[in-house]
Structure 1
């Protein structure tokens, strides 16, 4: 089945649980965009972009940041900035940078990504150590280790600080990059500040266009030197923007006013998880495992399940063969969740 395949609906208001990327900008965002002060970002002359970058850098405790069109570009820029062709990169076998970026790191950076088991959303420290020793023996030291927070395919699982500390101690010479597309979901769920997570990594990226509700954009944070080099790599990949303050203005609103409300999405996701467990059993999904806004569970026929939901005007998606994904966000309220739960109770 095609990943994230949309389904036609019959009637009524649609409950779109395919992804948190489907969110619409708020009225406040639209007003900020209309009134944004802009300049040519190619010449570092857009004050709104500069304000957004500085604000994000402060949130994650980094010296500087770079505004880019997408999370994928942020990851690819980081790979190009940290590596040279032929370098070894370790990443979770199901992480976005490996599975969902169309082999971009191999194409754009010429690196070899070696997959490490991450079944429960956390990299296997034992396997990381094994791979480190293997490549050291071969004279090919690991240059970058990628972590994902939250880990989407595992159901939006936040990474533990102890794991980050272990990875840092295992790879004192390598760079650690955090794909924090949903870093603020992790922070709200755990109470750990984004800067506390980010202090254990060399670079971090976050999306403002997912649960935070902005229409476009992600940010990449790191040292001043790293961002200066990343700015050049962004241009090579076609991410150079002009009067981008129109987009950055929405990102500012997202970061400043939409973080705390992510807890509502988490609460609604757990309600969905309880309904799925009631329908299919705890062996399919333990509701306590759902910590953020993503519900992933196995199903023998995802196509049939999603088609059934579509008949109740509910859209869902899939991220792998045999797996269903439902994602809560700001445009899904309690009434919509209740409708979805009724549909789930009758699903095949």
Structure 2
């Protein structure tokens, strides 16, 4: 199967499966799971943070961060396109009683600091208390550069806000910027890192932050039903992913650029060439029945999600040869 739907479809390699099979386990709620403890200790060193928490998903890690930073009736500011606003079931509002205040993302994925400043609520009982600014990097495949992150840190310090990073694909940003991941994460008070996207682990995310924040998040994780027991097999897979699958992300970016170029040469498709990581976005003219096209290619074991704006994602399960196969099949069925 050649699957362009998302980098969440990656599958553990044989080495990762072997490590999972032999991973020592215990009861993580009691703090007894050796592999979970080892992953969290590794994360503290790898990201140069005070503490880390293994979570079941990126959605959970983001929600725990929001609930650790904010109290009931507080507010966080984020992008209109932010995953933790648009695609996580309204968890902050539903489960945390936290009000999201979305700001329209700029073309490069960033948020305008002038617009953010205008959205910060005054200290008045009529308003929710603005506590947090949440950014996402990468966002829609686009990278927020270090200069912007430095300005974001200065901005929140000036306005007495905390700063969270939805870093589901932060390693993709680091790969594109040719930086160590800690050069990105050091600007934030909390960071979520997904292990099950481009890094290839089957399940799990990390939440990074201060000891106080992680202690609060750990309690909320239990309240939300996220206290996993013998989770060491999953944690061991996550540590393997961090140790072995971060440097190869540049291959996904190279493949995405190759895919974008090949797709742009097919009549009827218009490709957004501005994305620089592992996502290719394209539109198509009315002569192309994208739903039928998706069904036709699925019959040939090629999968993508049909929509008005096509998104194709490269990952460790996609090779350059797979892209050639896709382009050939796509051309034959238009």
Flag whether TM exceeds 0.5 (same fold): yes
Change (3 A) 1:139 1:286: closer
SS at match of 2:266: helix
Question: Shift in Å at residue 125 of structure 1?
Answer: 2.3
Partner of 1:146: 134
Alpha-carbon distance in 2 for matches of 1:302, 1:111: 38
Alignment: residue pair count = 327
**Which of the residues 73, 96, 107 maps onto 2:83?**
96
Q: With structure 2 as the length reference, what TM-score do the two structures score?
A: 0.92
Q: Which whole-Å deviations, capped at 9, do the CAs of 1:128-150 have from their partners, x for residues lacking one? A: 12212x54576654211111111
Greater Cα offset, 54-63 or 256-265? 54-63
Equivalent-residue separation in structure 2 for 1:124 and 1:227 (angstroms): 29
Q: Distance in 2 between matches of 1:91 and 1:228?
A: 24
Partner of 2:319: 333
Question: Where does residue 53 of structure 1 map in the other structure?
Answer: 40
CA shift for structure 1 position 338: 0.7
What's 1:128 paired with?
Answer: 116
Which deviations, in whole Å up to 9, do the C-alpha atoms of 1:115-174 show, x marking residues without a partner? 111143222223112212x545766542111111111xx3x1111122222222222211
8 Å Cα contact 2:75-2:98 kept in structure 1: yes
**Greater CA drift, 188-197 or 295-304:** 295-304
Q: Counterpart in 2 of 1:40? A: 27
Over 3 Å counting, the alpha-carbon distance change for 1:219 and 1:296 in structure 2 is same
Alignment partner, residue 148 of structure 2: 163
Deviations 1:174-226 (A, max 9, x none): 11110101111111111122111111110001111111111111000001111
Quick one: which of 204, 208, 211 aligns to 2:195?
208
CA distance in structure 2 between the aligned counterparts of 1:305 and 1:120, rounded to whole angstroms: 30
What are the equivalent positions in structure 2 for 1:179-258 lying under 5 Å apart?
179-258=166-245
Describe the superposition over 1:23-77 as per-residue Cα deviations: whole angstroms up to 9, x where unpaired. 1111111111111111111111111111111222222221110001100000111
- SS of the equivalent of 1:285 reads strand
Q: Which residue of 2 aligns with 1:342?
A: 328
RMSD: 2.0
- In 2: Cα distance, 1:42 partner to 1:231 partner: 10
Please say if residues 187 and 193 of structure 1, whose CA atoms lie closer than 8 Å, have aligned partners that are also in contact.
yes
- Aligned position for 1:106: 93
- Give the Cα–Cα distance (whole angstroms) in 1 for the partners of residues 224 and 129 of structure 2: 26
Aligned to 1:20: 7
Separation in 1, partners of 2:233, 2:218 = 19
Partner SS for 2:114: helix
Q: Which runs of 5+ in 1 are unaligned?
A: 1-13
Question: Following superposition, which runs of at least 4 residues in structure 1 exceed 4 angstroms of deviation?
Answer: 134-141
Partners of 1:294 and 1:328 within 8 A in 2: yes
Name the TM-score, length of structure 1 as normaliser: 0.88
Q: 1:292 — aligned with what? A: 277
1:346–1:220 CA distance, 2 compared to 1 (3 A):
same
